[in-house]
Amino acid sequence: MTKRKKLIEKLGVYFENKEHLAPLAARILSTLILTGKQGITFDALVLELSASKSTISSHLTTLQAANRITYHTKSGDRKKYFTLVPDAMIQSMAEMVKNWKCERELHVEIMDYKKEINETLPKNSEQHFDLEFHTEYLEFLDQASLSIEKLKKRLTEKNKND
């Protein structure tokens, strides 16, 4: 098995789990990631992934409907060249930050609740909640969100210039 095929398989398993994609849809997405901006034709996908035309076609339709992939044509060539949607990574980052914000709000509420309970307990009670984890986790979420936002901004600017 070639290095490319191994990586397609590894990425495919990752997308199956993370994105809850069907195995072949995950392999198509993985192939497009490794193909780059030039794209890959329908026939080349059928060959590379050793799948039937109808199965490849239905997964391409599903991925297009989900705004994960797109295609372009080349002058004088009737073939479609499939690629990732250019801002798919940016959309994914925005979703990640949105989820982290929700998680942060929950941790703040939990921490506030635990603080209230701690105030009702005797000073050195063994029943006191340890708030260190929440404090450190909130700091992590803040730093991670800031880092992703910076990267997202750079990618957005780069996409505008391309």
Which residue, among 60, 47, 145, has the nearest Cα to 94 in the 3D structure?
A: 145
Question: What digits encode the pLDDT tens for the residues 65-116?
Answer: 999 999 999 999 899 999 999 888 888 889 899 999 999 999 999 999 999 9
Q: Where do the domains of the chain lie?
A: 3-84, 88-161
The whole-number average pLDDT for the span 123-131 is 87
Element (H, E) at 136: helix 132-161
Q: What distance lies between CA 37 and its chain's CA centroid?
A: 19
Q: Over the chain, what is the mean pLDDT?
A: 93
pLDDT for res 160: 78
CATH label, 3-84, candidates 3.40.50.720, 3.40.50.10190, 1.10.3720.10, 1.10.10.10 = 1.10.10.10
Dist CA 155 CA 50 (whole Å): 34
